[in-house]
């Protein structure tokens, strides 16, 4: 993986940067799409659009990448911002058009569970603040470290830990009526 790729590894020549970025896209595409899917609230088409737009924006800004952070950190910061922008504009469109969108099943999920339970969890995630949802999805659903999440969001790791704590408290409250076996992950704070 190209985690920690900096300016030195990317090379000074544009062709070297493009080749490195192409490899990065190949390696990160599925994870980026899955993260976008979770951040935009389960809309497969929107996740694809957000992912594509994030890769395009990163490619267009590649010559301005200074290497102060890893390529992965730099890119995921762009992706999180794109997902936030999508959700903000979707809320405006829904407000103006009074449309409601159905929650599709998670295309990346290998767990065949109760669709009603998945819908409840998705609704509980939607009740979180933007920063709480982003932190929870990045750390607990996507497996990034707290420090990586902090880098992506441009926040101190203590702030991310605070967002995670508040997200877990709120999710526990929202999903308190679920059976003991289903709620174990939320009780322990594990993923």
pLDDT tens across the length of the chain (191 residues): 344 444 445 555 678 878 888 899 999 999 999 999 998 888 889 999 999 999 999 998 888 887 778 888 899 999 999 998 888 777 666 655 554 444 454 544 544 567 777 778 888 888 888 889 889 988 888 888 899 889 888 889 999 999 999 999 998 888 888 755 544 445 444 44
DSSP letter for 64, please: G
User: What's the first-to-final CA gap in the chain, in angstroms?
Assistant: 22
Structure tokens, 153: 């969001």
Count the neighbouring beta carbons within 10 Å of the beta carbon of residue 155.
Answer: 17
The residue behind tokens 């762009």 is 78
Q: List CB contacts of 152: < 8 A, sequence separation 6 or more.
A: 73, 76, 77, 80, 138, 144
Cα–Cα dist 69/22, whole Å: 18
**Structural domains of the chain in order of their starting residue, each with its CATH number:** 1-102 (1.10.1740.10), 111-191 (1.10.10.10)
Closest CA to 38 of 99, 91, 83: 83
């Amino acid at each position: 993986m190209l985690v920690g790729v900096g300016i030195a590894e990317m090379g000074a020549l544009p062709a070297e940067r493009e080749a490195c970025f192409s490899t990065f896209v190949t390696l990160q595409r599925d994870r980026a799409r899955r993260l976008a899917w979770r951040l935009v609230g389960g809309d497969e088409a929107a996740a694809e659009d957000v992912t594509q737009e994030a890769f395009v924006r990163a490619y267009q800004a590649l010559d301005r990448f200074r290497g102060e952070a890893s390529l992965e950190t730099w890119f995921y910061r762009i992706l999180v911002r794109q997902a936030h922008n999508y959700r903000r504009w979707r809320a405006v469109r829904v407000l103006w058009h009074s449309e409601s969108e159905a929650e599709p099943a998670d295309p990346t999920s290998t767990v065949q569970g109760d669709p009603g339970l998945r819908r409840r969890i998705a609704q509980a995630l939607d009740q979180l603040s933007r920063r709480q949802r982003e932190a929870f999805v990045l750390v607990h659903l996507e497996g990034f470290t707290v420090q990586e999440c902090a880098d992506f969001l441009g926040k101190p790791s203590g702030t991310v830990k605070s967002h995670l704590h508040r997200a877990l408290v709120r999710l526990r409250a929202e999903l308190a009526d679920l059976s003991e076996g289903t709620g174990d992950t939320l009780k322990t704070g594990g993923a």
